[in-house]
Amino acid sequence: MDFATIVGIICAFALVCSAIMLGGDIGLFLDVPSLMIVLGGTMGATLINYPLPDMLKVFKVVKNAFFHRGVTVQGTIADFVTLAGIARREGILALEPSMAEMKDEFLRKGLQLSVDGLEPSSIRDILGTEIVSIQERHKLGSEIFTTLGTFAPALGMIGTLIGLVQMLKTMDDPSSIGPAMAVALLTTFYGAILANLFCLPVAGKLKTRSNQEVMMKELMTEGIISIAKGDNPRIIEQKLNAYLPLELRESSFK
C-alpha cells in the first residue's frame, strides 16, 4: 500500500480525534442510529446507482490501485531500446523468446501482434481499444467513490433534518433542545467526514493512478508501433523520452 495514503489517513483521523478529545469526551460523537443512516443510506443510494457486479469489481480495482507495482518509466524505455536493437539486428521474430518473461500482459499482447505480422495501423487500433476499455474500467472505480462522496453529505443532511423535525415537534423541555440538536448534527458530521476524509480523496487517488497507467500504456503502444515499423533504437528512445520530464531522462547511448 502506498505510503502517502497511510500517512494521509492516519494524519487526518488522528488530528480530528485529538481535536475532539481536546474539547471533551469522544463518546459524545458516537451515535449508532446516526451512523446507520449515513453509512447505510449512502451504500443504498450507490447500490441503486451502479449494477451489483460493478460494485463488487471495485474492491479489486481499489486493491490494484493501492498496491501498485513499482515499474519505472525509465526501465520500460530501456527495455524498449534493447528490444528494438534485437529486432533490428535479428529480425522481429527474434523477440519471441524474450516475450515469455514479460510480466505486463499488454506489452506481451502488443509484441505478439507485431511478431504475427499485423500492420502498424491495425496494432494501434487494437491497442487503442484496449487502452480505452482499461480507462473505462478504472473510471468506474473512481466514479463509484465520487458517487459515495456525493451521497454521504446528502444523507448526512437527511439525518439532520429527521433529528430537527423530531426535536421541534416535541419541544417541551427547553433543556433538552441542545443535546437533541447535537445528535441531529452528528449525521451531517459523519457525512462530511466520510466524504472528505475517505471517499473523495480515494476517488482522486484512483484517478491519478489510472492516468499514470494510461500514460504508461500509451508509451508502450508508441514503442511497440516503432518496433513494428523497424525504427532506429535511438529514435525510439527519443520518442519515448518525450513522456518523461527532462531531469529524469536517461540514455542508453552515451
- Please pick, from the candidates 1, 30, 93, 168, the single residue that binds a copy of itself as defined by CB under 8 A: 168
Which residue is listed with cell 529514435?
Answer: 235
Q: Where are the alpha helices (DSSP H) in the chain?
A: 3-23, 32-35, 41-49, 52-66, 73-90, 96-99, 105-115, 120-169, 177-194, 200-229, 233-241
Question: Taking CB under 8 A as the rule, does residue 120 contact a copy of itself?
Answer: no
* Smallest gap from residue 96 Cβ to a copy of itself (A): 17
**Which of 59, 96, 215, 252 is close enough to bind a copy of itself by CB under 8 A?**
215
Give the whole-angstrom CA distance, residue 242 versus residue 182.
56
Each residue of 95-124: b (16+ CB within 10 Å) or e? beeebeeeeeebbebbbebbbeeeebeebb
Among 113, 148, 224, 228, binds a copy of itself (CB under 8 A): 113
Q: Which of 151, 210, 217, 220 binds a copy of itself (CB under 8 A)?
A: 151
- How far separated are the first and last CA of the chain, in Å rounded? 37
Q: How many residues bind a copy of itself (CB under 8 A)?
A: 104
Is 242 a residue that touches a copy of itself (CB under 8 A)?
Answer: yes
Is 196 near a copy of itself (CB under 8 A)?
yes
**214 lines the binding site for a copy of itself (CB under 8 A):** no
Q: How far is the CB of 244 from a copy of itself (least distance, A)?
A: 7
Residue 95 or 207: which CB sits closer to a copy of itself?
A: 207
CA separation for the pair 142, 139 (Å, rounded): 5
Q: Which is nearer to a copy of itself, 30 or 90 (CB)?
A: 30
Shortest reach from residue 105's CB to a copy of itself, in Å: 5
